[in-house]
Amino acid sequence: MTSGAVIRSLGLRQARARTAWWFLAPSLLVLTAVALWPLGRTFVFSFTDALLTEPDFYSYIGFDNYRALFEDPLWWQSVRNTLYFTVISVSIETVLGLTIALLLNSHIAGRGAMRAIILIPWSIPVVVSARMWQWMLHDQFGIVNHVLKMAGFIDSGIAWTANASLVMPVIIAVDVWITTPFMVLLILAGLQMLPRGIYEVAAIDGVPAWKQFTSLTLPLLAPSIAVAVLFRLLDALRMFDLSFVLSSNSDDAKTVSIYAREVLVNFQDMGVGSAASTAVFLMIAVVTAIYVTVFRLNRRLLGV
């Protein structure tokens, strides 16, 4: 390639880049207005003694809010609850999502109807689903206790969401019921994009089905699974509504988002509440960065 052709190619790339930035500019402005600006204000307020009742009158106090936050045992309990919920729920949803997606991708009768039915839990608003499950799990009038009594598994009703040892497993179970269809949808889309030719060649060569799954399907499907898991991680780490409705704001199921809301709204402390919100943002950013880095390293090591 001659020097003139190289220069023209570079000029064309720069022109395309400028055009792309012009198209992106409106979205970036909206993003700055609705996300970056409030985030920046929250970060600034985290270093002040501002109160929600008087947000315009404050003074800077350095890292005192963060010290108060990290010295609060309830904050660390909410961090443990959030991480526990995230790891368990996302793991179960990923396994179930992959299993159901493989089933729906196979040649079985009625798979079209099954695809529509399985999306119903995810289509219901989370608050509505949480309230529905709260009624179903009622210790006296809930259908769950009624069925268990009829089957002879229990003698009296169980207060599922009032029991400290049961409330978090119950929240995880409800979240799995709600969000597994989302994982199924993303993984199923990835399955349908896989090239069929390699499976035909593998079948001709006599490669067993389990070997095709481990050597072909999983490596090729890894990017789709990674994206699905990343979306669920981001959603689970900031979980608020499900725990707030089901646990009646119990400390045993308090998440970092609920903690931040409680300090900010109930106690009117904008400084500590902003520090908690900033810590939530940083926690999500760190977990996401670690996840993306590990996934890229694994892909390089595997040569995928």
DSSP string covering 12-43: HHHHHHHHHHHHHHHHHHHHIIIIIHHHHHHH
Looking from the CA of 267 toward its CB, the CA atoms found within 13 Å total: 15
In 101-149, beta strands by DSSP E: none
**CA-based angle 269:271:274, to the nearest 5?**
100
Q: Would you write out the chain's pLDDT as a tens digit for each of its 304 residues?
A: 565 565 666 667 777 878 888 888 888 888 777 778 888 888 999 999 988 888 778 899 999 999 999 999 999 999 999 999 999 999 999 999 999 998 888 777 777 777 778 888 888 889 999 999 999 998 888 899 889 988 888 888 888 888 888 899 999 999 999 999 999 999 998 888 888 888 777 878 787 878 878 888 888 888 889 889 998 998 999 899 899 999 877 888 999 999 999 998 888 899 999 999 999 989 888 888 888 888 777 666 555 5
122 within 8 A of 181, measured Cβ to Cβ = yes
State residue 77's pLDDT score.
94
Of the candidates 247, 83, 240, the residue with the CA atom closest to the CA atom of residue 165: 247
pLDDT at 7 (0 to 100): 60
Token couple for 272: 């500590």
Q: Please tell me the distance from the alpha carbon of residue 32 to that of residue 39, in angstroms, as a whole number.
A: 9
Tokens 């700055």 locate to 32
Which CATH number describes the domain made up of 72-302?
1.10.3720.10
Task: Give the predicted TM-score (pTM) of the model.
Answer: 0.84
Distance CA 215, CA 262 (A): 49
**Residue 269 three-state SS:** strand
Quick check: 255 and 239 in contact, CB under 8 A? yes
